[in-house]
Amino acid sequence: MALINLTPSIVLASASPRRSSILKQIGFNFEVMVSTHEEEFSNDIDLAKTNAKNKALEVSQRDNRLVLGCDTLVYLENQVLGKPKTKDHAMEILQKLNNKEHLVRTGVAFAQKGVLLSAKIAETRVFFRNNSPQELLDYVNSLEPMDKAGAYGIQGLGARLIQSICGCYYNVVGLPVALVLDMLKEVNHSYDFK
């Protein structure tokens, strides 16, 4: 019987529990090493990719393994909607998204030993239901929106707000699985599954 190599094959440059959960779900062996790079903030359509590259590069200068950096942003009419600072701010964001379509863009980057190997963006269109003011308030009062771009989590109670999506579901959660796997092939990295 062959021994399974449990040495982490990649480093995730993110503190996001959702990204860790997805990597575990698909069987990846990885270690978390949070990037200290300050995220930039603008309405640039490629901002998620820029932030992902910076995170991956920063961590790759501290560790020799392959590093995965990510950043997820929510755009409404070409404006970035960040994470809410207060419950009132969360309500304001959700009211803007209500009964509308918006765009979720996740930048994904791989770097090793201070060298950028690949950086791409996944894009998903999300359509909100016409939620009542009480439905939005109930969601805000759950406190789930408080650490999430666009003030909602599709994988949690926020699923109630969504009419439909066009594109990768996992991208909306924060880690576009198919893109990550394709990029790993592109950089010729063999990865260990648990």
Which active-site residues does the annotation give?
71
Q: Residue 155: is it exposed, middle or buried by C-beta count within 10 angstroms (0-12/13-18/19+)?
A: middle
Taking a C-beta distance cutoff of 8 angstroms, is the pair 19, 67 a contact?
no
Please state, in angstroms and rounded to a whole number, the distance separating the CA atoms of residues 11 and 113: 12
Secondary-structure percent of the chain, ordered helix, strand, coil, rounded to 5:
35, 25, 35
Q: How many Cβ atoms sit within 10 Å of the Cβ of residue 167?
A: 15
**How open is the CA angle 157-32-122, to the nearest 5 degrees?**
60
